[in-house]
Amino acid sequence: MCLVLTMLSAPSWAQTKAAAATASAEPLSAMAWFAGGTWVSEVKDPSDGSVTKVEERIRWSPNHQALVFNVDFDGKPHYDGFYAYNPATKQIDFYYTSSAGELTIGTVTPDADGKTFHQEFDLMHVNGNTGHLRSTLVRDGENAYEFSVLVQKNGDWQQVFHIRYERKAE
C-alpha cells in the first residue's frame, strides 16, 4: 500500500515542486538583469576628498530563488546579503549584514517601467539603535544604474548620497 501511494504521489509532487519553483522565481524576474559581472563605483567623501572603490557582485543562488550579493570597499568585504520573494507578504525582501555587524532588512518595489526600484529598509546598528532609510535604483541600460539613499531628518526625506554603478565583465 505504501509503495502504491508513493508511486501515485510522486508525479504530482514533482509537478507541484516544478510549478512552485517557476512561480516563486517569477517575482524576481524584474531584478534578474542585476545578476552577473561586477558592478563598480567610486565614492568620494565630501569631508576629506578620499575615494572608496566599491565592487558589487550579484548572482543567482544555486536554487535560483534568491539574488545573492556581496559588496567590497577598497577590496575588503563589507556587505553580504540576498534578495528573495516573500510569499506571505507578496513582496521582494532583502537582508544583508555589514562587516561592522549591522543588519539591514527591507523590501523592494519595482516600478511598472522595469527600470526603477524603490527600497524601504531598517538598519539595525550594533548598539541596538535602528534607522529607517529609503533608496532608489534606476536602471540605465543593461550595464549601469543610479543609486540614491535617503534618510528622514526633521520629517523630510533627504539624500545621503547618490552614486552610479557600471558593470564590468568578469
Asked whether the predicted pLDDT for residue 38 surpasses 60, the reply is yes
DSSP string, 103-161: EEEEEEEE-TTSSEEEEEEEEE-TTS-EEEEEEEEEE-SSSEEEEEEEEEETTEEEEEE
Confidence category of residue 8, pLDDT binned at 50, 70, 90: very low
| Residue 41: per-residue pLDDT | 97
SS3 call for 169:
coil
Residue 15: pLDDT over 80: no
Determine the Cα–Cα distance for residues 56 and 167; give it in Å rounded to an integer.
9
Read off the pTM. Answer: 0.82
Residue 163 — pLDDT band, cuts 50, 70, 90?
very high
Q: Give residue-wise pLDDT tens across range 67-81.
A: 999 999 999 999 999
State the Cα–Cα distance between residues 117 and 58, nearest whole angstrom: 16
pLDDT tens for each residue of 110-155: 999 889 999 999 999 999 999 999 999 999 999 999 999 999 888 8
Q: Are 58 and 39 in contact (CB under 8 A)?
A: yes
Domain boundaries, the chain: 2-168
Q: Which CATH number fits domain 2-168: 3.40.50.1100, 3.90.550.10, 2.40.128.20, 1.10.3720.10?
A: 2.40.128.20
Mean pLDDT of 26-51: 93
Cell of 167: 558593470
What pLDDT, on a 0 to 100 scale, did the predictor assign at position 4? 37
Give rounded-to-5 percent helix, strand, coil for the chain.
20, 55, 25
Q: CA 157, 137, 144, 56 torsion: positive or negative?
A: positive
